[in-house]
Structure 1
Amino acid sequence: MQLKHKIVALSVLPLLLAVAVVCLLVLVQNQRLGEQQAQLIERSILASKQAELKHYVEMALSTIEPLYGSGRDDEETKRQVLALLARINFGADGYFFVYDSNGKSLMHPRQGDLVGKDLWNMTDAHGLLVIQALVKSARDGGGFQRYGWQKPSTGQPSEKLAYVTMLERWDWMLGTGIYLEDVDHAIAQVRHDVGNGIRTTMLAIAAVALIAVLLVFASGLTLNVSEQRLADRKLQQLTQRIVTSQEEERSRLSRELHDGISQLLVSIKFKFELAAHELAAGKASAGETLRQGIERLAGAIGEVRRISHDLHPSLLDTLGLASAIGQLASEFEQRSGLRVNYDNRLGDTRLSDGMNVALFRILQEALTNIERHAHARQVDIALAGNEHRVTLRIRDDGQGFNPRQVEQHSGGIGLRNIRERVEHFGGTFSIVSTASGTELDVALLLSAAPPVAEVQLP
């Protein structure tokens, strides 16, 4: 996976993870709040129903009070009480019922077929002994009981909430009830609304997450295009620098060949031609002329050797980096007139051919810059190495310069090429320049092993 793809992935994945966690928290919290709301509404409705049922029973008791409170316990009085209760109703399914304490149905205005039957052991769909539970609630004084019963208007089983009380003197249980279908419907509606709210919230979060992911993707794409264009510009600049460097090197070689070797060869040709004429004329000066021509031929050979050494020093291949740097330092001292101190602590450290060439070219570039711009009197060169790294330090006592400003300049091969050579081998490069001098430090790793103590340079 490319770096740009990794960056986009590292941007998108935490976002998606955060959105997933938020969605989970919202889902759990909404479900919990929805359930609490449903329970609150259910308790509120049931409390209202309980108050309503208690009011109905109190109304029924006040209706039969003239008969029950008369103290008569004859069958006719009981029949009149049952007849009064049978006529009291509220709504299609609101009625009163009466049982004796043994579970026998004494009055049921909606389901007359139950009257006279013993329903003591009758159970609802949940296995509850309905009449026994009602009698127990009436005797305990709580009065309220929830159970399943067949709804008269529909003939279907339904949840019912009843309130019952005992007529102690006659050992009767009087009660009424309200079917809870509307409560169940209200609770189902609340849960449905909560579910819709959760779905709406999830869709909103998903939309926000999608927009965020698209923004991250678009930003990554824009960054990718920008980086690609920047990389293309840098590649073009590098290519141009390489072409410029090649042309400069060709111009330098052309000048050296024309101004140096070419003129020497022409001079040698003239000397040899003059020596030939003098020999033909029998002059004694022919030997001296021939000797001068041979001396100039030796100078031409030395010039060719110098140019060849600049292109690729043969000592790198034969004696190694330390000797090649020593020769370069000696030639630079003779050519520039600067005092050069060379400290070689490379020892038996073995470098690859590429590292040898890189360090040699870095030193060449540094010495060229010192000769042209530093106005220094002394140069110190220190080379050191161990089994993990090799370091090269070049220090002068010149006037210094601004490294950042020089490195940003696009022409020439300068500091940028030095940095690129070092980075090619995964090394480090630093340069410190003040008014009292400049110090350039280069370190190249020889292996992937963790570095040990730094190589100490003087």
Structure 2
Amino acid sequence: MTLPLRLLFIAVLQVVLTSILTYFLVTDEYRDLSNQSVDTLENFLIEQKHQELENYTLLAVSAMSDAYENSAIDDDEAKARVTEIIHDMTYSGNDGYFFVYDGDGNGVVHPKEPYRVGKNWWELEGENGDKTIQILLANAKAGGGFHRYPWRKPSAGEMSEKMGYSVFLEKWNWMIGTGVYLDDVNSQLSKLQREIDQHINKTKQIILLVAMSSIFLIFLLGLILNLSQKKKTDQKISELGLKIINMQEEERRHISRELHDGIVQVLVSIKYSLEATGLWLKKAKVDKPQPLEHAQSNLQDAISEIRRISHHLHPRILDELGLSAAMDALATEFSEQTGIAVNVTKPAVRKLVQNGISTTLYRVVQESLINVQKHAHASEVNIEMTIKDKWLTLTISDNGCGFDAHNTDKPEDYGIGLRNLAERVEYHLGEFNVRSSNDGTQVTARIPKASYANTHTATQGPSV
């Protein structure tokens, strides 16, 4: 038997065993879940009945509250009024009514069974031996409670399970109660149980009929679809990331251009006007006012700051002269601002990379220098770009204090800035790595030839 056939046999055997195991586990689990569903439904319906009984009882007590609250213990007239009110209160057709017994079990009000009025029912027992009136009185004296017991249903004329609720009127030593019949609840639960049993049987039949073939087919189709979907999803994520980056860079380029060609030009015009004013005052042999000198100085600072912001958003030199010149300019500016020596090494080739990759590599250098300035305490930075083994490699290293590199083994462990750089590089199918020790930090970005390949020739002259 060949290896593929062996694997197929193992797969088929696994499907058969899985089907058998599924048959028993699913049916047993489904039975347990079904029983839980029935219990949950029963609890829900009973809770609704509880709420219904409490509301009805509250209405009855509210209806008799004036007569009860303003009466004495032996006020027979008030008791007669309350008895009449309770007797006439009904709900749910012919089956919803209220009943009253005194503390000794004597019937006071019972509109559906008037023969109970005036008689003692203290020893009345249900079919299960419970002392029904005693339990209802005990629940009432305890602050109100529920009790399930068999009782004749007026609309049907036969015994049915009933759930009663009772409260106690302490001043008159009365127990007032009401109840609802649970045959509708039991009917719903029985119907649900029958449907569940039918569904379980049907489920067993379906499992037996289709498990042997469908599980195996679903597994294969699922595997194929999953791989295909994963490939499409990764591609869409990559395309979306590139679009976002391009939109960000385009917006940066637009804002940078507006600052440089708009606001800066206006400020320069104002600067010329102030300088012309200063010349006019000089010819008129009038001393230049101090506020005018401050205005000229502040205006020059504003022009320099806006130019710096514009350059930081998107250096025009990157579009006009390419990555090489932009890296040189960035290194020079960084050295002037921080006093840290920066050495730039790069290949002497022209049109090395596409614009998108040029921007990505520029941002890698820019973010790395910012981190050096903030955290490294370095005195020297080396920027090196090489082409070797069909890879374009950009390395930025410093001789600073470094940081804990054990927590940055993966791109998701980086900070926001480094993580954004890693994503930018990975969008070009590249690799991004950060290594650090007490001797310094090294940031490496590698782009494969398949991504950066532009026609380039190794010639002397402006690089990249």
- Give the TM-score band, short-chain normalised: 0.3 to 0.5
TM-score (norm. length: structure 1):
0.42
Larger-gyration structure (1/2):
1
TM-score (norm. length: structure 2):
0.42
